[in-house]
Every structure is written in structure tokens, then in C-alpha cells.
Amino acid sequence: MNVFRKTIFAATCVGSLVVAAAPAHAQTTLRVVMHSDLKILDPIWTTAYIVRNHGYMVYDTLLAQDEKGEIKPQMVEKYDTSADKKTYTFTLREGLLWHDGKPVTSEDCIASIKRWAVKDSLGQKMMTFVASIDAVDAKTFTINLKEPTGLVLLGLSKPSSNVPFMMPKRVADTDPNKQIEDFTGSGPFVLVKDEWKPGDKTVYVKFDKYKPRSEPASGLAGGKVAKVDRVEWRAISDAQQAVNALSKGEIDFIEAPSHDLLPTLKKDPNVNIVVSPLAKLQYVFRPNTLHKPFDNPKVRHALWYAFNQEDFLMATIGDENYIRPCKALFICDTPFATTKGMDGLLTSNAKKAQELLKEAGYDGTPVLLMHSTDLKTLTNLAPVAKSLMEKAGFKVDMQSMDWQTLVARRSKKDAPEAGGWNAFLTAWVAADVMNPISTAYVNAACDKASFGWPCDEKLEKLRDDFARETDPAKQKAISEAVQQRVIEFTPEIPVGEYIQPAAMRKNVKGYLLTAVPVLWNVEITK
């Protein structure tokens, strides 16, 4: 072999080695900081939002709502409703697989719906209409109703906790009150269980065999295309440190940056702030109807005149770009939003509130108002409420505690002086409170209602009417009636909405403007 040939041979060998050593394509990893650390992995067992977000990574849904809030098929190819509106037939798409490679079947979906319906309030209501859920074949099943209801489609497309995620039958057969231990889903990402380290990180990899829909992604509907190979949820609990890490490029995305740090992020040329009009939260005041003085609806009604939304929003969010004063109970700019009955309310008319308290025979019983001190977006709510209530003539005993203590205390039915409570304030993700059924604090079913335990036949009758109605126009009319009854009976008071923007590096593209954060369609460009 002459020198030239030897050189060519050597160069070819080295070249082959280099090519062999190089990866087929560079792995892309999206590093994100979610609003909290993931400690539980069963999105049916708990309603915690972080677990719901995890659910959207790993699981898929039969139906989904697009960016306009319209219900679209997702795992199903099509669904049909019988002429009498008592039978829904769902046909699954071809090629859907679980992460273990087995096909998704009707039996899996039936078991998943049943498990979800035990835990979820909307699911429970839906099941009161259901006569049976039957598999027709491996890809088709029917939901047979005792009487027509609009809750089947509303329930199966529910965007927020509990989301009706589909699981393999062997998993969905788990007692709903026990956590699942097998995390096989059929969504666009697979959980890497060995790399799930609470307090550190949660890792997902792209599910190569996921078959996205052909339509473009829209809201939670359309093609769920995983455009990165790996997603790492990093547990950075310190808000300032998350911002520092984003600015330095140590992470790519923050789901919910603190509002007071947004001005810093806005100045960073490498960072984009993304505002989704659907990513809203609603602040609410929740009275406990079991004890004086809020056992009297007239006393509760005075609160509508005592409060105004701007004070609450400016004290907590403090930036006019992100606050949305909105009197609609079911979230402004959504299908069931209305301001009917709200004239003159939530304007801090202290004089009117005082008159109403007098008429109600309020005897000066102090209101034990629970004040949570450790969650930034909630901390200033109670002091504002106290101030406005005192101006209206209430006596207020505000007790400060951390959020977890408040959570424990609010489940107690005892009198305030025996460890119970009279009122607290919290925030709901908009997607949870967009209709009379899923809005937990509108539920007035006494002991079966949420903390505060309101008991009102009229409100329950209206909610039942809404559940029975399938015509959207009539549903809207019933929603208006629900809102008016809520004003009279006052199981809750909405004290304003705010937008929660996300922040990401400029090379992160394709983030969908949805009601809940999802990471399919997101890519990292060079």
C-alpha cells in the first residue's frame, strides 16, 4: 500500500469512527420549573394542579377543549349521539398504544371513566344519569343514559382537576381511594420512574409510538406532537432563583413566575413573557354557612356591597397588566359568563352594606377570617377583606396561619371558638369554575358540598336543570339563574381574576395558549 492509499485508508477509518460516535441526532431537553414539586403521581386520586399537569404529560383524554372552549375528539375518532340523546357511541382512533406497546381498548376507557367518576364532582353528577357503559368491540363503546344530559361531553372534556385521563384497565381497576403504582399512559411523553426524585426533578421522554391527531394543536385539542426528546421538571422552590436560572439559560421555562419578578424578566433580552388569555385564576371569598354570623344569608349578602375587586387585585398582583376585574361568576370571556344581577355589587358601597347588616339583625358576632401567610398570591387577600368588612360594619377576627394549616382547619365543621372558622379566601384556576357543575363552591348540597357546607334546594335544583340540559343556549340561561341565586344565597363571592403568565427563553417556541400548561408542541430552536 503506498503512502497515498494508506492516508486515504486511515482517513476513512477515522471518519467512520467519528460518524459512528456521533449521535443520530442531538437530543433536545426542555428544562422547566413548574409551580410546585411533583410528589404524587395519580391525577385521579388528588386534585392538586401539579399532578393534573403531570397527567397531561403522560395520559391522553377521549375528548378535549380547543382554544375556543369547543369540545373536540381527541383519543376518539368520532362520537355519535342517538336521536333521543340517551346513547353516546365513542369510537377510538386506530393505532393508539399504551407506553408498554399494548393497544388502547374500549375496556381500558370504560374502567378509566368509572374510576374518574368516583372521585370527580362532575363525574359523580354525570354518573347519576348513566344507566350503563358498555363495550361494543375493542374500539367502540357506548354510554347509555337514563335521561339526556349535557354532562357526558362536558365531563369527558373537562380540562382541569380531575381530568378524565385514560389508563390501562389493570391500572384503572385500582380502588379510586388508593394511589396507582403503575404509571403507564398513552400520552405523548413517558415518565422515567427511576429519574423521578421529588424535591429534585421529574423526567419524561418522548413516546415515539404516540400517534398524534392530524389537526394542528389548538388548546388541549388537536395534534399532540412531542417536539423535544426529553423534558425535565426541575424543582426550584425559590422564585428569585428560578428567574436567575432562566436568565442564565440553566432552565428554559417557568410555568408561573412571581408577578413581582416579571419586570426583571421583561428586561432580559433572552426571555419571553407569554400571556395566555385562558391561563386565568379567580379569587373567591368563601363563607362558612354553618355558624354565626354567616349562617344568615342576609348577612352574607351584605358582603357583595362591602367588597370591590380592584382592591383585592392590586393588593395581591399589583400590576394592571395582569389583573382582570370581572363580576361574572363563571369567568369572563367564557361560554357561561354573564354579569346579570351584578349591578351595584362589588363596588364597596359601605353604606348599603351597613343597612343590609342592620336589616339582617347582625349582632356584632366576630367573623373568624383565616389568613394564609405563605403563598404570595394569597397573602394580602385576607387583610383587604378585613379592612373592607370593617368599613361595612363587620367585626373581624383575622387569624394568620400557613396555607397548610388553613387547609386542615377549613375541613373542620366546629364552631369558630372551638377550632372552626367563618371565612377564608382562595384562588381557583379558571378552567375549574367555568360552569355551575364543576364550580365547587356553587355546590349547595349541604354535607356533600365543599368546605363551608352551603345548603340550598333552589341552587341544587338549578344545577340539576343545568345537568339535564343539552342545548348550550338553555344552559347559558340556567347559568344566569344560578348566578342570580348565588348572589341571593351567597355561598361564595368572586373578588377578581388575574392572569398568570409563563416565562421562557426566546429559543423556546410553540407553547400553546391553553387553560392549563401543556408541553407538547413546544420546541427548542437554535
What is the binding site for another protein (CB under 8 A)? 37, 39-41, 46-48, 119-121, 161-162, 177-179, 181, 197-200, 234-238, 240-241, 244-245, 247-248, 250, 401-402, 404-405, 407-411, 413, 419, 426, 428, 432, 440, 447-451, 453
Report the distance separating Cα 259 and Cα 426, nearest Å: 17
3-state secondary structure of 152: helix
Min dist CB 250 to another protein, Å, is 6
3-state secondary structure of 150: coil
CB atoms within 10 A of CB 469: 19
Min dist CB 120 to another protein, Å, is 8
Report the distance separating Cα 330 and Cα 432, nearest Å: 9
3-state secondary structure of 171: helix
3-state secondary structure of 214: coil
List CB contacts of 15: < 8 A, sequence separation 6 or more: none
Min dist CB 425 to another protein, Å, is 13
Min dist CB 517 to another protein, Å, is 17
The residue among 175, 172, 114 whose CA lies nearest residue 143 is 114
Q: Which is nearer to another protein, 200 or 457 (CB)?
A: 200
Task: State the DSSP string of 76-97.
Answer: EEEEEE-TTS-EEEEEEPTT-B
The residue among 154, 162, 161 whose CA lies nearest residue 70 is 154
Burial tier of 71 (Cβ tally within 10 Å: 0-12, 13-18, 19+): middle
Min dist CB 255 to another protein, Å, is 16
Min dist CB 113 to another protein, Å, is 18
Min dist CB 483 to another protein, Å, is 20
Q: Which is nearer to another protein, 132 or 404 (CB)?
A: 404
The residue among 365, 518, 468 whose CA lies nearest residue 128 is 468
Q: Which is nearer to another protein, 2 or 177 (CB)?
A: 177
Q: Which is nearer to another protein, 41 or 392 (CB)?
A: 41
Min dist CB 297 to another protein, Å, is 21
Which phi and psi angles does 493 have, rounded to 5°? -135, 125
Report the distance separating Cα 324 and Cα 165, nearest Å: 31
